[in-house]
Each structure stands twice: as C-alpha cells, then as structure tokens.
Copies of this chain bind each other. A is one copy, B any other.
Amino acid sequence: MNDPAAPNFDGDRLITAVVQDVASGDVLMVAHMDRASWEATLRNRRATFFSRSRDRLWEKGETSGNVMHVREIRLDCDGDAVLLRVDPAGPACHTGERSCFHVHIA
C-alpha cells in the first residue's frame, strides 16, 4: 500500500477538508479545496478553501477576521480528504457558534 504524498486533484476534482480545533479536538467545519487553495494553505498556514457557491478561493476569516492558523495537516489513505488541525481566531460558524456542527440530532 503506497500512501499518497499529495491529494488527488485529477480532473480538477475537489477534496474534502475537515477542520478540527487542535486544542479541544472539536470538529469545527467541513469545506472543499482545489489545488490552489491547498497550495495557499500550505504556504500561508491559514486555512484556505474553494468556495463552490462563489466559485473562487476563500481564505477563512478574510471578512470576519476569524482566520484559522494551521498547526498540522494530515491526508487520508486515498488522498481525497484532508484534516486540518487548527488554532481558530474565532468562531468557525457564521451563526457565531464555535463549531458548525451545533445541531444535535441524536
């Protein structure tokens, strides 16, 4: 089994990014990345995604100031999902909640 050294962006596919608070372990949000946002995240160490609704690069916190400082990056076994372990400057969710996963179902 060869581990991937980089995400698989073949055919302009997007990968799934899971964001976890490195201090609390809370899962904060899920977003998507294209190659450019992946490279920006590695370069700047701030979580940067591809916004499907706006069809452009989106640095988390670019408007709100709630940037996410990336402390650790892990790729999954088939290279189509990435885990960003971050130190968030503020709430992840646009509702003001710390995590987007604030709707308790069961």
The answer to whether A51 has its CB under 8 Å from any CB of chain B is no
Chain A at the B interface: SS class: loop
Task: Count how many chain A residues have C-beta atoms less than 8 Å from C-beta atoms of the other chain.
Answer: 37
CB distance A27 to B20 under 8 Å? Answer: yes
Known pairs A1-B95, A18-B18, A95-B1; A73 contacts B105 (CB<8 A): yes
Copies of chain A in the complex: 2
B-chain residues with CB within 8 Å of residue A81 when the two chains form the complex? 30, 100-101
Contact of A29 among B29, B76, B82, B94 (CB under 8 A): B76
CB distance A73 to B106 under 8 Å? Answer: yes
The answer to whether A54 has its CB under 8 Å from any CB of chain B is no
- Tell me how far the C-beta of A61 lies from the nearest C-beta in chain B, rounded to whole angstroms: 16
Known pairs A77-B95, A95-B77; A103 contacts B3 (CB<8 A): yes
**Residues of A near any B CB (own CB < 8 A):** 1, 3-6, 16, 18, 20, 25-27, 29-30, 42, 70, 72-79, 81-83, 93-95, 97, 100-106
